[in-house]
């Protein structure tokens, strides 16, 4: 049992952190928040525009600020960006303030979901399969390090993944005052 005040979704681009996170929030009567959206709001600029203006390092600093602010709250499902686990300070915050769910999917699933996406700067003008493979190699150990629960979501629809998670969370995650509806 883990009395963390928030649920944090981690995993690579295209894992379903937002779509599944929203469903989980509804099911447990929690607020849904998204770190990328918080970065966009706090900076008044899109993710590609932020990468363009201040580079990946500048984006990561803003991502950390947004994550820290959101995790200050409670009763939320927090969808993080795929690279948020790179920063050890983010991993520490997630573990301190959240029950962390790793949505694991392979590169084929990611490619099918983000294949034509224009909103993810790391995937523009590159061999996406090669980049996604490399990112997953580096990040998979970090997702696992921070996770309280790992769900293999590769062959699951968002609805199926949600159902599987609801069952496991009801058993494994306990937050005072919140019960599965």
* Residues within the interface to ligand S3P (CB under 6 A): 13, 17, 36, 47, 81-83, 120-122
CB of 74 to ligand S3P, least distance (A): 22
- Residue whose token pair is 């590169």: 107
Residue 33 to residue 56: CA distance in whole angstroms: 22
27: enclosing H helix or E strand: helix 17-27
Q: Which is nearer to ligand S3P, 14 or 175 (CB)?
A: 14
CB of 181 to ligand S3P, least distance (A): 26
Residue 127 to residue 133: CA distance in whole angstroms: 10
CB of 84 to ligand S3P, least distance (A): 7
Q: Which is nearer to ligand S3P, 41 or 180 (CB)?
A: 41
CA distances from 84 to 13, 79, 175, 176 (A): 11, 10, 24, 27
Residue 25 to residue 55: CA distance in whole angstroms: 32
How many Å separate Cα 121 from the centre of its chain?
Answer: 17
Identify the three-state secondary structure at position 153: coil
For residue 34, what are the β-bridge partners?
79
Q: Which is nearer to ligand S3P, 37 or 174 (CB)?
A: 37
Q: Which is nearer to ligand S3P, 84 or 175 (CB)?
A: 84
Residues 146/88, Cβ–Cβ less than 8 Å: no
Q: Which is nearer to ligand S3P, 47 or 165 (CB)?
A: 47
CB of 5 to ligand S3P, least distance (A): 22
Q: Which is nearer to ligand S3P, 122 or 164 (CB)?
A: 122
CB of 180 to ligand S3P, least distance (A): 26
CB of 36 to ligand S3P, least distance (A): 5
Residues 35/84, Cβ–Cβ less than 8 Å: yes
């Amino acid at each position: 049992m883990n009395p963390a005040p928030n649920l944090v979704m981690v995993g690579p681009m295209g894992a379903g952190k937002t779509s599944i996170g929203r469903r989980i929030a509804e099911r447990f009567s929690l607020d849904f928040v998204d770190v990328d959206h918080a970065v966009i709001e706090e900076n008044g600029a899109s993710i590609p525009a932020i990468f363009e203006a201040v580079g990946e390092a500048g984006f990561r600093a803003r991502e950390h600020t947004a994550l820290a602010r959101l995790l200050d709250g409670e009763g939320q499902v927090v969808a993080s960006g795929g690279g948020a686990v790179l920063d050890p300070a983010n991993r520490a915050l997630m573990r301190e303030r959240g029950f962390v769910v790793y949505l694991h999917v392979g590169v084929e699933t990611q490619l099918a979901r983000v294949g034509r996406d224009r909103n993810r700067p790391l995937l523009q003008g590159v061999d996406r399969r090669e980049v996604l493979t490399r990112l997953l190699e580096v990040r998979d150990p970090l997702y696992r390090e921070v996770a309280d629960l790992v769900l293999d979501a590769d062959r699951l629809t968002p609805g199926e993944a949600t159902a599987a998670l609801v069952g496991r969370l009801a058993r494994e995650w306990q937050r005072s005052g919140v019960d599965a509806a």
